[in-house]
A and B are shown apart, each in its own frame.
Chain A
């Protein structure tokens, strides 16, 4: 069972990579917030390349951020906002996946906070 798993996992990784027809790089890869749940906003350096000219769009999750027409490589700054780990996708005109990149949100303080909903005794 363990041996079969060893075979399966590299196979899946190779298949996943083969489906990507471009390279997508977003730097930095990590955004630091003070506390978990806070929204992070940062300007990243976005670059992607394809072998042939593409009509491509960059997605943050399911949200389309920006599109380019008939280009093979792009390098530009971009401001992104995220409050949790998020994968960015580069898709072609038919929304076929070309490449993807995950950006992580790390907190300086690992504690999580929420609103205090009652401030006193119900009896007072």
Chain B
């Protein structure tokens, strides 16, 4: 597979190298025409905001990339750079949508001791959740609990059931492939703006999402072979995306009263990343990110936490290819 990707990139690549490079020492640079492979080894993970969702461990994280003059492949992203100017660049990109990671049913426990209570597709009808404070679609539909337990929401927002609904009991949320435009703008040596618009090209959720971020490279003593980067941004997701992953509808085989209609929402995030180069092969790596889930996601009966955190601390080894 690796050879196939490499052969494809080499075949399709534009051979007429532009003579100008805008890669500055302060900006992360890659050698053109060279595969790069690194392996991060350490401790970390991504917290899963879903009810009964397993946190995603990050213990060994491989990084692989190949940049040609225009084409590039970087981990899960394939792109083609249209413009690379001193202060900005514009690329067409395609990559896997990351939302599915929270809905993964794969876990070592699933192999060791499969529960057998649900089919692989997860479409079996489950025991209905106990509702004690309303229902996901609003108070107008019937409830199984006495009316005195209803606590009307003053904002008229969907109210979560007392027992959240596990995604494992619902229809399988599928992987989606996105395509779109990635734009970077650089102001001086320390300021970088990113805007990325993506839409589903695999026909899974049939929506779009936009990520906008600002990264600041903090000044450090020049003698330090290190980088400290602070980031802030927002991730807007369309109603179709939120509906597909966090909504509950007819395909989930639950009664209408448990249905949840997804709407578009903006999830802000903040992050920090620190890298310290120890030698030619090793660098110390620390990164942390918190995404504050939009109300439209966190109000879903599937979601238990309001935030999703990513954390990693360890070493990054660069292989000499």
Interface residue count for A (Cβ, 8 Å)?
A: 20
Indicate whether B95 reaches chain A with its CB closer than 8 angstroms. Answer: yes
Given A36-B19, A124-B46; A116-B75 close (CB under 8 Å): no
Q: Taking beta carbons and an 8 Å cutoff, which residues of B are in contact with A?
A: 17-23, 27-34, 46, 58, 61, 65, 67, 69, 72, 74-77, 79, 81, 84, 89, 91, 93, 95-98, 101, 182, 184, 310
Kindly state the separation between the CA atoms of A110 and B266 in the bound complex, as whole angstroms.
45
Residues of B within 8 A of A122 (CB): 75-77, 95-98
- Cβ-defined contact, B98 with A115, below 8 A: no
- Cβ-defined contact, B20 with A117, below 8 A: no
Indicate whether A114 reaches chain B with its CB closer than 8 angstroms. Answer: yes
A-B contact pairs, 13 of them (CB 8 A): A37-B20, A112-B17, A112-B33, A113-B21, A114-B22, A115-B23, A118-B72, A118-B79, A118-B93, A120-B75, A121-B61, A122-B98, A124-B58
Kindly state the separation between the CA atoms of A114 and B46 in the bound complex, as whole angstroms.
30
Closest Cβ of chain B: how far from A73's Cβ, in Å? Answer: 33
Closest Cβ of chain A: how far from B36's Cβ, in Å? Answer: 9
For A37, give its contact among B21, B33, B182, B310 (CB under 8 Å). Answer: B21
For B89, give its contact among A83, A84, A115, A120 (CB under 8 Å). Answer: A115
Kindly state the separation between the CA atoms of A35 and B21 in the bound complex, as whole angstroms.
9
Q: Interface code A61-72, partner B: CB below 8 Å = 1, 0 otherwise?
A: 000000000000
- Cβ-defined contact, A84 with B19, below 8 A: yes
Residues of A within 8 A of B65 (CB): 116, 118
Kindly state the separation between the CA atoms of A119 and B17 in the bound complex, as whole angstroms.
23
For B75, give its contact among A35, A83, A112, A118 (CB under 8 Å). Answer: A118
Q: 8 shortest A-B CB distances, which residue pairs? A: A37-B21, A84-B19, A118-B74, A122-B95, A112-B32, A116-B28, A123-B98, A113-B29
Closest partner residue, chain A, to B91 (CB atom): A117
Closest partner residue, chain A, to B178 (CB atom): A122
Q: Which residues of A53-81 are within 8 A (CB) of B? A: none
- Cβ-defined contact, A115 with B27, below 8 A: yes
Closest Cβ of chain A: how far from B114's Cβ, in Å? Answer: 25
Q: Interface code A3-45, partner B: CB below 8 Å = 1, 0 otherwise?
A: 0000000000000000000000000000000011110000000
Residues of A within 8 A of B76 (CB): 121-123
**Chain A interface main SS type:** loop
Given A36-B19, A112-B33, A113-B23; A119-B98 close (CB under 8 Å): no
Residues of A within 8 A of B20 (CB): 37, 83-84
Kindly state the separation between the CA atoms of A99 and B135 in the bound complex, as whole angstroms.
85
Given A117-B79, A117-B81, A122-B75; A112-B21 close (CB under 8 Å): yes
Given A117-B81, A117-B89, A118-B75; A123-B22 close (CB under 8 Å): no
Residues of A within 8 A of B30 (CB): 113-116
Given A37-B20, A84-B20; A121-B75 close (CB under 8 Å): yes
- Cβ-defined contact, B98 with A113, below 8 A: no
- Cβ-defined contact, A118 with B17, below 8 A: no
- Cβ-defined contact, A38 with B21, below 8 A: yes
For B98, give its contact among A37, A114, A118, A124 (CB under 8 Å). Answer: A124
Closest partner residue, chain A, to B75 (CB atom): A121
Residues of B within 8 A of A36 (CB): 19, 21
Kindly state the separation between the CA atoms of A120 and B75 in the bound complex, as whole angstroms.
7
Kindly state the separation between the CA atoms of A96 and B318 in the bound complex, as whole angstroms.
56
Closest partner residue, chain A, to B58 (CB atom): A124
Residues of A within 8 A of B77 (CB): 118, 122
